[in-house]
């Protein structure tokens, strides 16, 4: 039987496959995006979270668990309890956390399926991090209406609806706040922030490629996402060069 860590890794892998599939599908149907971020933050989960998701100028963090009950293990992590206390005392941090920080877990539901009968169907659910943590810790916060997405709906909200996550500037501020909780300088820690980005690279000959590029440091993440999208937009709207006045005239 797989252990909890293996189950969590499986959830991360399936979620990443959904992100990659959506990105490639948009390109195949003539709705290309300049980039998509769906990357595990290996070795950075203690300070931040397991996963970084981003598209269309918006970014989010996700902490993945084997199932919903496993979210209770976050209560054993001192930095997470400090984050909860910061959210209780500072409404700004609370708002940023509600927009940026999420849980993801596997949900099992028995369904009757054609040809194969009754089966346990595994899906991935996503919820905001702080409400789940506050509920587990029995801490009252002004959280508003709870929200629960299936993974497909959540990914769509990034790629097509632009309703989840937050912009790059608020995202950077929240990362710095998480680093401060574990006693790290935001500026130096952001320089070590790393993962991968799927990037749409137009070709000079009219074809294009999707490349996986590793970023090292927050500034390079911004170059491969926000700044790259601006550069492509500017290039696509550049007027064609003027024709020579002599073109088409007989000599």
Q: Is residue 243 part of a domain?
A: no
Alpha-carbon gap, residue 183 to 165, rounded angstroms: 25
For residue 90, being part of any structural domain is answered with yes
87-101: string of b/e by CB count within 10 Å (b at 16+)? bbeeeebbebbbbbb
In a domain, 110, yes or no: yes
Q: Domain containing 15: what range?
A: 4-183
The reply to whether 222 falls in a domain is no
Contact 54, 158 (CB under 8 A): yes
* Among candidate residues 42, 79, 28, the one with its CA nearest the CA of residue 216: 42
Q: Where are the alpha helices (DSSP H) in the chain?
A: 4-28, 78-89, 91-100, 129-137, 151-156, 168-181, 186-190, 218-222, 228-236
Whether 246 is covered by a domain: the verdict is no
> In tens digits, what is the pLDDT along the chain, a chain of 251 residues?
568 889 999 999 999 999 999 999 988 888 888 999 999 998 899 999 999 999 999 999 999 999 999 999 999 999 999 999 999 999 999 999 999 999 999 999 898 899 898 998 999 999 999 999 999 999 999 887 778 999 999 999 888 877 789 999 999 999 999 999 999 988 899 999 999 999 998 776 666 788 999 999 999 999 999 999 888 877 665 544 444 333 333 33
Would you say residue 213 lies in a domain?
no
CA-to-CA distance for 27 and 159, rounded, in angstroms? 12
Kindly state whether residue 195 falls inside one of the protein's structural domains: no
- Predicted confidence at residue 108, as pLDDT, reads 92
Residue 196 domain-assigned (yes or no): no
Contact present, 171 and 37 (Cβ < 8 Å) = no
Total domains present in the chain: 1
């Amino acid at each position: 039987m797989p252990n909890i860590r293996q189950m969590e890794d499986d959830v991360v892998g399936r979620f990443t496959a959904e992100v990659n599939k959506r990105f490639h599908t948009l390109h195949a149907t003539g709705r290309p995006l300049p980039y998509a971020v769906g990357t595990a933050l290996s070795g950075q989960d203690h300070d931040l979270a397991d996963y970084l998701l981003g598209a269309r100028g918006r970014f989010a963090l996700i902490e993945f668990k084997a199932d919903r009950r496993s979210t209770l293990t976050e209560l054993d992590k001192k930095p997470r309890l400090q984050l909860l206390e910061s959210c209780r005392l500072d409404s700004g941090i609370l708002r940023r956390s509600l927009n940026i920080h999420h849980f993801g877990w596997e949900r099992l539901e028995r369904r009757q399926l054609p040809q194969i009968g009754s089966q346990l169907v595994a899906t991935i659910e996503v919820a905001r991090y702080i409400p789940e943590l506050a509920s587990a810790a029995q801490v009252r916060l002004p959280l508003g209406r709870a929200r629960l997405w299936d993974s497909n709906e959540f990914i769509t909200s990034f790629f097509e609806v632009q309703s989840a996550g937050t912009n790059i500037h608020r995202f950077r501020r929240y990362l710095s706040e998480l680093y401060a909780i574990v006693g790290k300088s935001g500026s130096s820690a952001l320089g070590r922030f790393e993962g991968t980005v799927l990037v749409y690279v137009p070709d000079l000959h009219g074809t294009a490629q999707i490349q996986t590029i590793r970023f090292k440091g927050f500034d390079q993440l911004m170059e491969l996402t926000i700044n790259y999208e601006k550069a492509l937009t500017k290039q696509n709207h550049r007027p064609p060069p003027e024709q020579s006045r002599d073109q088409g005239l007989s000599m």
